[in-house]
A and B are shown apart, each in its own frame.
Chain A
Amino acid sequence: MGNKRKRLQSDVDEFLREIPDFRYDKENRSLSGNYLVLDSEGKYVDSYPLIIKLTSDYPLAPPEVFDDGKNKPYGAVRHIEPDGKFCLFYADESWKYYSPDDGLIKFLHGPVREFLILQKAYEIEGTWNGPGRAHFQDGIFEFYNEEFGITDPRKIHSLMNQIIKRKIKGGNVCPLCYPETRTRIRNCHPQLLEFQKRVSIPLMKDSIKKLEDHCQKHRLRLRF
Chain B
Amino acid sequence: MSNNQLLKAILGQQSLDENSAEYKSMMKQGDEIQTLLSTSFQDDEPIIQFAGSQAKGTMVKSKYDLDITCYFTSGSNTAGSSLKELFEAVKEALSVEYLVEVKNSAIKIYSQNENGYLHVDAVPGRFVDGKEGDVFLHVEKWDENRLKTNLQTHISHVRNSGFLDEIKLMKIWNTRNGGPFKTFILELLTIKVLQDNSRKGMALDENIEFLFNELAEKIETITVEDPANPAGNDLFLHFDSTMRTNAKMRLEETAKLLETHDWEGIFVPLEKASHASIKTQAVNSQMNPHYYGE
Please list the residues of chain A having a beta carbon within 8 angstroms of any beta carbon in chain B: 19-21, 33-36, 38-45, 47, 76, 79-82, 86-91, 93, 96-97, 111, 114-115, 117-118, 120-122, 124-125, 129-133, 135-136, 139, 143, 210
Of the listed stretches B37-45, B46-54, B248-256, B273-281, chain A binds B273-281
User: Are A44 and B270 closer than 8 Å at their CB atoms?
Assistant: yes
A residues near B2, Cβ cutoff 8 Å: 21, 33-36, 47
Of the listed stretches B22-30, B120-128, B143-151, B282-290, chain A binds B282-290
User: Are A43 and B5 closer than 8 Å at their CB atoms?
Assistant: no
User: Are B12 and A42 closer than 8 Å at their CB atoms?
Assistant: yes
Question: A35-B2, A121-B278, A133-B289 given as contacts; is B12 within 8 A of A44 (CB)?
Answer: no
B residues near A111, Cβ cutoff 8 Å: 287
Specify which of A42, A91, A124 is in contact with B9 (CB 8 Å cutoff). Answer: A42
Question: A43-B271, A44-B271 given as contacts; is B281 within 8 A of A90 (CB)?
Answer: no
Q: For the complex, is B116 an interface residue (Cβ under 8 Å from A)?
A: no
Question: A21-B4, A43-B272 given as contacts; is B288 within 8 A of A132 (CB)?
Answer: yes
Question: A43-B277, A121-B279 given as contacts; is B4 within 8 A of A19 (CB)?
Answer: yes
Specify which of B5, B286, B289 is in contact with A19 (CB 8 Å cutoff). Answer: B5
B residues near A33, Cβ cutoff 8 Å: 2
A residues near B13, Cβ cutoff 8 Å: 42-43
Measured CA separation A29–B291 after assembly (Å): 24
Question: A21-B4, A41-B273, A42-B12 given as contacts; is B291 within 8 A of A79 (CB)?
Answer: yes
User: Are B282 and A121 closer than 8 Å at their CB atoms?
Assistant: yes
Specify which of B271, B277, B285 is in contact with A118 (CB 8 Å cutoff). Answer: B285
Excluding A39-B273, A124-B279, 8 further A-B contacts by CB distance (< 8 Å) are A43-B13, A76-B291, A79-B291, A88-B287, A117-B285, A118-B285, A139-B290, A139-B292
B residues near A210, Cβ cutoff 8 Å: 292
Measured CA separation A47–B2 after assembly (Å): 8
Measured CA separation A111–B1 after assembly (Å): 22
Q: For the complex, is B6 an interface residue (Cβ under 8 Å from A)?
A: yes
The contact size tier of chain B is 20 to 34
A residues near B279, Cβ cutoff 8 Å: 121, 124-125, 129
Specify which of B4, B203, B282, B289 is in contact with A79 (CB 8 Å cutoff). Answer: B289
Specify which of B5, B278, B289 is in contact with A35 (CB 8 Å cutoff). Answer: B5
Question: A34-B1, A34-B2, A40-B281 given as contacts; is B272 within 8 A of A132 (CB)?
Answer: no
Q: For the complex, is B259 an interface residue (Cβ under 8 Å from A)?
A: no
Measured CA separation A197–B175 after assembly (Å): 54
Q: For the complex, is B293 an interface residue (Cβ under 8 Å from A)?
A: yes
Question: A34-B1, A36-B2, A118-B285 given as contacts; is B278 within 8 A of A45 (CB)?
Answer: yes
Q: For the complex, is B3 an interface residue (Cβ under 8 Å from A)?
A: yes
Q: For the complex, is B294 an interface residue (Cβ under 8 Å from A)?
A: yes
Smallest CB separation, B59 vs chain A (Å): 16
List, sorted by A's number, 17 A–B pairs whose CB atoms are closer than 8 Å.
A20-B205, A21-B2, A33-B2, A42-B12, A43-B277, A44-B9, A44-B271, A79-B289, A81-B291, A87-B289, A114-B286, A117-B285, A125-B279, A131-B288, A135-B290, A139-B291, A210-B292
User: Are A39 and B277 closer than 8 Å at their CB atoms?
Assistant: yes
Sorted nearest first, the 10 A-B pairs with minimum C-beta distance are A121-B282, A90-B290, A79-B289, A36-B5, A43-B273, A133-B290, A130-B282, A20-B203, A139-B290, A42-B12
B residues near A44, Cβ cutoff 8 Å: 9, 270-273
Question: A42-B13, A82-B293 given as contacts; is B281 within 8 A of A131 (CB)?
Answer: no
Smallest CB separation, A115 vs chain B (Å): 6
User: Are B289 and A81 closer than 8 Å at their CB atoms?
Assistant: no
Smallest CB separation, B32 vs chain A (Å): 30
A residues near B5, Cβ cutoff 8 Å: 19, 21, 34-36
User: Are A87 and B291 closer than 8 Å at their CB atoms?
Assistant: yes
Measured CA separation A21–B9 after assembly (Å): 13
Closest A residue, CB atoms, query B283? A129
Closest B residue, CB atoms, query A17? B201
Specify which of B6, B277, B288, B294 is in contact with A36 (CB 8 Å cutoff). Answer: B6
B residues near A136, Cβ cutoff 8 Å: 291-293
Closest B residue, CB atoms, query A139? B290
A residues near B205, Cβ cutoff 8 Å: 20
A residues near B292, Cβ cutoff 8 Å: 81, 87, 135-136, 139, 210
Measured CA separation A213–B259 after assembly (Å): 56
Binary interface encoding of chain B residues 227-270 relative to chain A, with 1 for a CB under 8 A from any of its CBs, else 0? 00000000000000000000000000000000000000000001
User: Are A21 and B3 closer than 8 Å at their CB atoms?
Assistant: yes
